[in-house]
């Protein structure tokens, strides 16, 4: 890892709260911080365990890091629960991941997105502000979806105006503005990252890549929205975690950084690559047909953003951050991970998720 240990001492804290640490990126981040950064303090994982939160994703961390890792089941919609955890663990920094994160769910049921992503973020910022000088950093994890949708040309950057379209992206845009307001108004030490689509281990199989891997393995239809021509910029979760830690520990208060994969692909090409990888490891379908034959074009997502792509030259220039994965290496590693971890897959698929997804696809 290319971390600069001296530069990381710029912002120093020892009682870090990670919200949403039982989710996909949060669990990878906690493991990354303990294993890769030299951080010597404690991490308090504050997570409500919604359908997307799976504490089993951190079984290894809990066993290895003992008292330095604390799990608190708590809801960011509850200001008192946040304050209790802040006081009990003398929280001096927050890395805020907790959110309702799935665009399709936000189209069906937007209310939870406003409550958690907007009000929940406000509750956390307020609790951080109340700690006064004892609080040194609030890092807010956000998305490129706040910028809206691109045409065939151009990139999102830190200066792109906000133009969110889905209830999910509007709720994230709102939380970004509130976080910035707490810096500008109260001087709270805030940083923000806006990143592109993540993939990698421990991602809940409602998102494109893990859903397609598992369906391709099991011979189920691969539901591609519309023609599959929408474009996303794919970022390996490990590269995202390194970017967040870099910004959290080195960036000036009040700054924003865009983080991307420099890896734009059309959805249909992502799905075809996954089919090819599953076929390489597991062979064709039992009837001899290629896995690609499972691709099924279904009704398009409402308000489906056409293209996301990030210009991440600011974080590269300021800190020397770079992606360490390509789509080729990262997709292969990710398909292998899902094939090698059936117990984790079963643990998430036995829950509420399955009932929701069945209802959702029934009408398409």
224 interacts with, out of ligand TDX, ligand NAD, none, CB within 5 to 8 A per kind = ligand TDX
47 interacts with, out of ligand TDX, ligand NAD, none, CB within 5 to 8 A per kind = ligand NAD
Question: Applying CB under 6 A, which of residues 101, 169, 174, 215 lies at the interface with ligand NAD?
Answer: 101
CB closer to ligand NAD out of 19 and 230: 19
Site for ligand NAD in 159-218 (CB under 6 A): 172, 195, 197-198, 204
What are the residues whose beta carbons fall under 8 Å from the beta carbon of 329, sequence distance 6 or more?
none
Site residue total, ligand TDX (CB under 6 A): 16
Give least dist CB 111 to ligand NAD, A.
12
Could you give phi then psi for residue 193, rounded to 5 degrees?
-120, 140
Among this protein's residues, is 145 annotated catalytic? Answer: yes
Among this protein's residues, is 158 annotated catalytic? Answer: no
- Residue 211 is a binding residue for ligand TDX (CB under 6 A): yes
Q: Which stretch binds ligand TDX (CB under 6 A): 59-67, 219-227, 241-249, 310-318?
A: 219-227
Site for ligand TDX in 133-162 (CB under 6 A): 143, 145
CB closer to ligand TDX out of 13 and 202: 202
- Residue 50 is a binding residue for ligand NAD (CB under 6 A): yes
Site for ligand TDX in 73-92 (CB under 6 A): none
Q: Which residues bind ligand NAD (CB under 6 A)?
A: 19-20, 22-26, 47-50, 52-53, 75-77, 97-101, 116, 120, 141, 143, 172, 195, 197-198, 204
Q: Which residues are catalytic?
A: 144-145, 168
Q: Which residues bind ligand TDX (CB under 6 A)?
A: 101-103, 143, 145, 197, 207-208, 211, 223-225, 230, 232, 267, 301
């Amino acid at each position: 890892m290319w971390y600069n240990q001296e530069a990381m001492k710029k912002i120093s804290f020892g009682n870090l709260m990670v919200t949403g640490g039982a989710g996909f990126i949060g669990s990878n981040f906690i493991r990354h911080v303990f294993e890769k950064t030299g951080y010597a303090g404690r991490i308090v994982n504050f997570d409500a365990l919604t359908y997307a939160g799976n504490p089993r994703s951190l079984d290894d961390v809990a066993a290895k890091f003992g008292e330095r890792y604390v799990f608190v089941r708590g809801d960011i919609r509850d200001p008192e629960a946040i304050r209790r955890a802040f006081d009990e663990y003398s929280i001096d920094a927050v890395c805020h991941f907790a959110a309702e994160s799935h665009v399709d769910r936000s189209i069906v049921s937007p209310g939870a997105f406003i409550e958690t992503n907007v009000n929940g973020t406000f509750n956390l910022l307020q609790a951080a502000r109340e700690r006064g000088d004892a609080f040194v950093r609030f890092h807010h994890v956000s998305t490129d979806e706040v910028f809206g949708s691109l045409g065939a040309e151009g990139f999102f950057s830190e200066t792109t105006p906000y133009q969110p379209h889905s209830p999910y992206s509007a709720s994230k845009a709102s939380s970004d503005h509130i976080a910035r307001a707490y810096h500008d108004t109260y001087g709270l030490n805030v940083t923000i990252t806006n990143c592109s689509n993540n993939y990698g281990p421990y991602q809940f199989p409602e998102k494109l890549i893990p859903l397609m891997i598992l369906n391709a393995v099991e011979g189920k239809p691969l539901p591609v929205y519309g023609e599959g021509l929408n474009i996303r910029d794919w970022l390996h979760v490990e590269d995202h975690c390194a970017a967040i830690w870099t910004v959290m520990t080195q960036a000036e208060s009040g700054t924003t950084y865009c983080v991307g994969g420099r890896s734009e692909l059309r959805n249909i090409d992502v799905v075809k690559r996954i089919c090819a990888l599953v076929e390489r490891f597991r062979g064709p379908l039992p009837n001899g047909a290629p896995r690609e034959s499972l691709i099924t074009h279904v009704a398009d997502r409402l308000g489906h953003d056409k293209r996301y792509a990030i210009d991440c030259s600011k974080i590269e220039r300021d800190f020397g951050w770079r992606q360490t994965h390509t789509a080729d290496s990262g997709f292969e590693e990710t398909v292998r991970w899902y094939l090698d971890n059936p117990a984790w897959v079963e643990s998430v698929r036995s829950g509420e998720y399955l009932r929701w997804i069945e209802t959702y696809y029934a009408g398409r």
